[in-house]
Amino acid sequence: MILVVGLSHRTAPVDVRERLAGGPTALPAVLARLAVRSELEEAMFLSTCNRVEVVARVRRGSAGLDGARRAIREELAQQGGAVSGDHLAPYLYEKRDDDAVQHIFRVAASLDSMVLGEPQILGQVKDAYDAAIAAGTLKGTLARCVSRAFSVAKRVRTETSIGVGTVSISSVAIDLARRIFGDLSDRTVLLIGAGEMAEAAASSLVKGARTLRICNRSFDRAAALASAMQASAVPWGELAAELVSADVVVASTASPTYVVTVEMVKRAMKARKGRTLLFVDIAVPRNVEPAVHGINNVYVFNVDDLEQEVARGLKARHAEVEVGERIVAEEVSRFFAWRRGLEVQPTVVAMRSKARAVFFSEFERSLGGRLKHLAEGDRAALTQMLESALNKLLHTPTTRLKARAAEGEDGMELAAAMRFLFDLQEIAVAKEHEEGEVAETSFASAEGDERLPH
């Protein structure tokens, strides 16, 4: 069973989400903890500004679903530090099997994002996938499911117009600044941070602001982004001074603590003589101390505040969302058809193994008797003939069995009948786990690696 447990902008406010958020540096530790949970066969940890969730495959055994649910909730509570499991429970959602796969596909396709169609989420899911693969926590059915999600996202983006227009938190933030200040052409904008979201914000800002300045802990990174955007780079130590001259401050660093504090802003506002200052904090955890919003003529908007802005464009995209949801539904059906086919794979493998053993046992006996005079070339030709005959004999029952299983009809009953008629039960059971994993790998290889480039 595939299981998703987590929270998002739909279920938890930013002050809860930021306590569980884990950046690239935290990811190895979280995956290491998930890897040793005996209740989980596979696991992936996804943390973005709008969601924190564990995607897992439940290990078969006595712990079952309840054990897996408990394990994930415990790990999320540990990730939250002081957040207790009881405090966290009201904010968590849980999705299983069909609903879980649908959720994974929708998230990758940006159908569950605060800003529908935003492109960043696909890269974030891929980063989480790559980290889990490297950590060895993704290796079978779940790995195939997440890999398939990349193809679903590609279909949604190419077969709909959901990504046209304003499609990122960064661009929505800039739209908000324009509505408050009007034309930004006479304003100074300070960008705190130089990561992916900062770069997206800079792309929008450089087209409208009079002056764009970029402040980042790594000055080299700030300078590189500033050079690309025709902006000015600012050393991190001058952040407080920059608040005196800026009109709009867009904060998007990965800092786990506030980089803009109440005292810092109070000093800046005294020097500004009360001139209005707008903060747009698109980071999770938040970069701007919430109490800053209480200072006169200072306004702070965080990612939750941007949700109302996002809702404005939702109606215009409704038709595209419907098309995207239909694509997801098709792909979920396809994924489960493949997985049902896996359930009969041990029987198929056992049937081929037994048939081959019988064929070649008789062949070897003949080579030791009436056919012992055959030359090496003739023996090779007979071996090839037997292999071909075996493949032709088993092709039809194999394909029909897999097809019936994929259609969700009587595949398991037919597999049971095959095991009974050919006395395959012991072989099938012994190989079930091993061949299941082999089948997962071979299926993925047969279809090709459909992941999008990052």
Give domain status of residue 92, yes or no.
yes
Give the domain CATH number at 230: 3.40.50.720
Interval 425-449 mean pLDDT: 41
The residue to which tokens 């000055």 are assigned = 219
Instruction: Please report, for the domain that includes residue 48, its CATH number.
Output: 3.30.460.30
261 and 286: one domain? yes
Picking from 147, 165, 183, the residue at the C-terminal end of a domain is: 165
Same domain for 185 and 64: no
Q: Examine the residue annotation and report whether 145 is marked as an active-site residue of this protein.
A: no
Instruction: Indicate if 152 and 195 belong to the same structural domain.
Output: no
Residues 200 and 137 in one domain: no
Number of domains in the chain: 2
CA-based torsion, 223, 288, 257, 262: positive or negative:
positive
The last residue of a domain, from among 165, 184, 210: 165
- Structural domain contains residue 377: no
pTM exceeding 0.85: no
Of 257, 252, 229, 233, nearest to 302 by C-alpha is: 252
**Which amino acid appears at position 239 of this protein?**
L
Q: Are 146 and 133 in contact (CB under 8 A)?
A: no
Q: What is the pLDDT of residues 108-156, one digit of tens each?
A: 999 998 878 888 899 999 999 999 999 999 998 999 999 999 999 999 9
Highest average pLDDT, of 57-71, 147-161, 171-185, comes from 147-161
pLDDT of amino acid 427 = 47
Alpha-carbon radius of gyration of the chain = 29
Q: pLDDT tens, 366-419?
A: 888 888 888 888 888 888 998 898 889 888 888 887 777 777 667 677 777 877
Regarding whether 130 and 73 lie in a shared domain, the answer is yes
* CA–CA distance, 22 with 348 (Å, rounded to integer): 43
Is residue 401 in some structural domain? no
- If asked whether residues 15 and 130 sit together in one domain, one would say yes
Catalytic, out of 14, 21, 31, 49: 49
The whole-angstrom separation of Cα 144 and Cα 172 is: 34
Residue 277 pLDDT: 93
The string of pLDDT tens digits covering residues 299-332 is 998 888 877 666 665 666 677 888 999 999 999 9
Which of 292, 311, 330 is the endpoint of a domain?
Answer: 311
Residue 220 shares a structural domain with residue 134: no
Sequence-distant (≥ 6) Cβ neighbours of residue 144 within 8 angstroms: 335, 338, 440, 443, 444
Average pLDDT estimate for 213-225: 94
Do 9 and 150 sit in the same domain of this protein? yes
> Tell me, what's the pLDDT at 312?
62
Question: Is the same domain home to 84 and 138?
Answer: yes
Angle between helices 141-159 and 318-343 (to 10 degrees): 150
Whether residues 124 and 217 fall in one domain = no
Give how far Cα 365 sits from Cα of 258, 355, 360, 383, Å.
79, 16, 8, 13
Which segment of 33-42, 117-126, 331-340 scores lowest on mean pLDDT? Answer: 331-340
In angstroms, rounded to a whole number, what is the distance separating the alpha carbons of residues 227 and 223? 6
Whether residue 214 sits in one domain with residue 75 = no
What percent of the chain stands above pLDDT 70?
A: 86
CA atoms within 13 A on the CB side of 224: 11
Range of the domain at 112: 2-165
Please report whether residue 54 resides in a domain: yes
Q: What is the C-alpha separation between 158 and 231, in angstroms, rounded?
A: 33
